[in-house]
């Protein structure tokens, strides 16, 4: 794999980790108060442009509302970016 592909898959690993962090609220319900804005900000930092901003708001709302934490928004955004849209790995913005 190339260095850029490594970064692409590092971003996937981060996405899975961030989605897993959203599940903490099932154990600690008030975790969402901290995690929802942080997750929205992380999403906009990981994915630049209009789609990153939209995904950031969706992530914030999804994490803030109870019982929606099961939706893996970070992983879905990775799939949208690199599978559906087919962006090249060299277009990755560092977190």
The pLDDT, as a whole number, for residue 26 is 85
How far is the C-alpha of 35 from the C-alpha of 5, rounded, in Å? 28
Domain regions of the chain by residue span: 21-87
Q: Which residue has the tokens 């154990």?
A: 27
| Chain CA centroid to CA 94, Å | 13
pLDDT tens for each residue of the chain, 95 residues long: 566 678 889 999 999 999 999 888 888 888 989 999 999 999 999 998 999 999 999 999 999 988 888 899 999 999 999 988 877 654 545 55
Q: What is the pTM of this model?
A: 0.83
pLDDT for res 87: 72
């Amino acid at each position: 794999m190339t260095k850029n592909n490594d970064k692409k898959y590092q971003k996937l690993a981060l996405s899975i980790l961030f989605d897993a962090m959203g599940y903490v609220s099932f154990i600690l319900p008030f975790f969402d108060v901290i995690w929802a804005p942080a997750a929205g900000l992380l999403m906009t930092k990981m994915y630049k442009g209009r789609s990153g901003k939209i995904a950031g708001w969706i992530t914030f709302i999804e994490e803030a509302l109870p019982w929606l934490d099961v939706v893996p928004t970070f992983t879905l955004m990775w799939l949208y970016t690199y599978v559906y849209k087919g962006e090249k790995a060299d277009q990755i913005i560092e977190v």
